[in-house]
A and B are shown apart, each in its own frame.
Chain A
Amino acid sequence: MSAPEQSTQPFLRVENLKTHFHVERGFLFQHRVGSVRAVDGVSFELRQGEILGLVGESGCGKSTLGRTILQLVRPTEGVVVLNGRNLTRMHGRELREARADFQMIFQDPYASLNPRMTVFDALAEALQAHRDVPESELPARVGDLLQKVGLPPRAQRKYPHEFSGGQRQRLAIARALAVEPKLIIADEPVSALDVSIQAQIINLLARISREMRLTLIFISHDLSVVNYISDRIAVMYLGKIVEIGPASRVFEHPLHPYAKALISAIPIPDPVREARRERVVPPGDPPSPLNPPSGCPFHPRCAQAQERCAREVPLLEPFTDPNHLAACLRTKEINSH
């Protein structure tokens, strides 16, 4: 994978992003009883053409983060700046028109396409969403899009239900590409597919993002897939990023206790290695973002937790490599040996 484009300004800047959903009770007059802090203070920067892998388990907020960046869910606090434009400040028409620059690929290939529209209708609609394309050119342009994602142009007359899951995901990718975006967020794009088809879609995404110089955020719970495709990996837990750094570094030498646990939990398809490995299994379940713990969000399940972990909120800080950061108060002690 070629090195990402070097440019001075970050292409995407997310600063202290928070998305809190209010839980309300009440019959006639609703009052707030609590908040689900789905995204709780996330900051990072991406260069153009970079691929960021976002991993975490259920409840960590990665999907919400993706949707918040794209302003499909409006943030409660914080800033998202894409290519110099502040998305969080935009509304209505301005926001709608800006959407040509950023798109999403959804997880469920069976639900993300309108069952009543033919492939042609869906892709033509996307092509014309932000640009004027003469009617006569549409079939050819749609055909081009289909070929780009590895489907025959004659597929455009079909309905989504006539395609397999992997093919539908290709259609979804084609639709996203139709508006010529610069940023694509893929939310678990291969989780619903068979292993042998996953590889095809991942290859496609990698190739497209390279060819079109797309910035890609790849959200998944599957660390090995993410490690393969990403330049950098960010690990999320309870709405916060707990570790972020170059993909291979995070994967092979994780700093944060949760990242270590996550990586060690992945079963290795190799009986000898699997039998020999040391596993760190955090007890209990991933907690609910309705009631996050005080201090470090992971401390109740952390084998290395100390008293201060319940009090202080750790910030992302580098250890030995300035590009590899972890949000742990004890990074140094845990990782120096």
Chain B
Amino acid sequence: MPLLTVNKLRTSFHTRAGVVRAVQDVSFQIERGETLGIVGESGSGKSVTCYSIMGLLPQPPGRIEGGQAIFDGVDLLALSHRELNKYRGLRISMIFQDPMTSLNPYLRIEQQLIEPLLIHEKMDRAAARRRAVEMLADVGITDPVHRLRMYPHEFSGGMRQRVMIAMALITKPDLLIADEPTTALDVTVQAQILDLMKKMRQELGMAILLISHDLGVVSGLCDRVMVMYAGRVMESARTPELFYETKHPYTRALQKSIPALQVKGQELYTIAGAPPDLLRPVPGCPFAPRCGYVVDYCAREEVAPLEVAPAHCTACLRVQKEKLLL
């Protein structure tokens, strides 16, 4: 049985301007030890999906309209806050994008690091402190005993992210959710953190749900990738297949947009049109207004991901019906 099964998750935000359908019928699975990447631009719903699962959504204005998130047999969305707290920090951990604001500036690192141990594993302080030192050393922080007593502002961005990872993994969770963990970091530091995540994954065997807008980051770390657009899943496949046998025009367009893969001297490929307006969703496929392969029925029929090849789903109507090759 997969570790996490998300089934037709639907999340909206009820704002003064209207209802924003941030996540629409999103379904996916993560097996134990697997790394799944969710890729999308701003407004795609990738972050909201994970916040919904973790129960971190501000409700109001957010509201989970439907769906399930079954973690090891239990639907997280049906749990009360107290029950959910038994999972969060112990079996599911999360790290966030901005290392500057993710740590409490008033508490020493030690307190923040051992907190999950004291709460979830009911360790005594001495044992918890020992584990904290081990963990800091494991994530590559030198002189951990000393560092434990320091405050977050005394660490650099990369080190704070390491501390976050230590905090998240100290209880040896089954699933780590990482929301754009390296976006705010310098590229060399990003490389360090990605290497660190690979190492910890090897040591602890946890599953990882990695959210990113960067196809490069995703291609290096993930076993499978899911591409989201306007709150829906557009394509999901094993990583090599997503890149080499793309089955959705949006994925293809994203790949083409990457400057690294383009020839100097010619204009950069741009995706025509503008990002979707989540307040006024268009009928049919949300990508239709910008798609280079659009035909008449794309703007009429409802889209949903369908498996068109082994372990490879796409929401593109043309690929589903006509086996369109991209």
Contact = CB atoms under 8 A, between A and B. Distances in A.
Interface of A: 1, 57-58, 164, 194-200, 202-203, 206-207, 221-225, 227-228, 247-248, 261-262, 264-272, 274-275, 279, 281-283, 285-286
B260 interface: yes
Given A164-B274, A268-B216, A286-B188, 6 more contacts: A196-B254, A196-B270, A248-B264, A268-B220, A270-B219, A282-B188
Residue of A199, A262, A268 with most chain B CB atoms under a 10 A cut-off = A199
Contact of B217 (A221, A222, A267): A267
B270 A199 contact: yes
Contacts of A221: 186-187
Contact of A274 (B158, B220, B264, B265): B220
A41 B261 CA distance: 34
B84 interface: no
A188 to B, nearest CB: 13
B317 to A, nearest CB: 21
5 contacts: A57-B188, A194-B41, A194-B275, A196-B253, A264-B191
Interface residues of B, number: 44
B203 interface: no
Given A196-B270, A199-B268, A285-B156, A267 B257 contact: no
Contact of A265 (B191, B259, B260, B269): B191
Nearest to A207: B267
Given A199-B257, A199-B259, A274-B219, A194 B42 contact: yes
Nearest to A266: B187
Residue of B188, B259, B271 with most chain A CB atoms under a 10 A cut-off = B188
Nearest to B212: A267
Nearest to B268: A199
A248 B260 CA distance: 12
Closest 3 CB pairs of A and B: A267-B216, A224-B260, A269-B215
Contacts of B189: 57, 285-286
A301 to B, nearest CB: 9
B15 interface: no
Contacts, number: 124
B188 A228 contact: no
B269 A57 contact: no
B219 A271 contact: yes
Given A202-B268, A225-B259, A195 B274 contact: no
B144 to A, nearest CB: 15
Contact of A269 (B156, B253, B255, B264): B255
Consensus secondary structure, chain A interface? helix
B191 A281 contact: yes
Contacts of B261: 269-270
A285 B158 contact: yes
B260 A269 contact: yes
Contacts of B190: 265, 267
A223 to B, nearest CB: 7
Nearest to A59: B186
A272 B240 contact: yes
B264 A1 contact: yes
Given A270-B243, A282-B188, A194 B213 contact: yes
Contacts of A223: 187
B265 A1 contact: yes
Nearest to B219: A271
Contacts of A197: 275
A72 B158 CA distance: 30
B299 to A, nearest CB: 20
Residue of B261, B264, B269 with most chain A CB atoms under a 10 A cut-off = B264
Given A228-B268, A268-B219, A281 B188 contact: yes
Nearest to A57: B186
B258 interface: yes
Interface in B131-159: 156-159
Contacts of B270: 196, 199-200, 203
Contacts of A265: 187-188, 190-191
Contacts of B260: 224, 227-228, 266, 268-269
A275 B220 contact: yes
A196 B220 contact: no
Contacts of A57: 186-189
B240 to A, nearest CB: 5
A194 to B, nearest CB: 4
A271 B187 contact: no
Nearest to B41: A194
Contacts of A196: 41, 253-254, 257, 270-271, 275
A195 B254 contact: yes
Residue of A1, A271, A275, A286 with most chain B CB atoms under a 10 A cut-off = A271
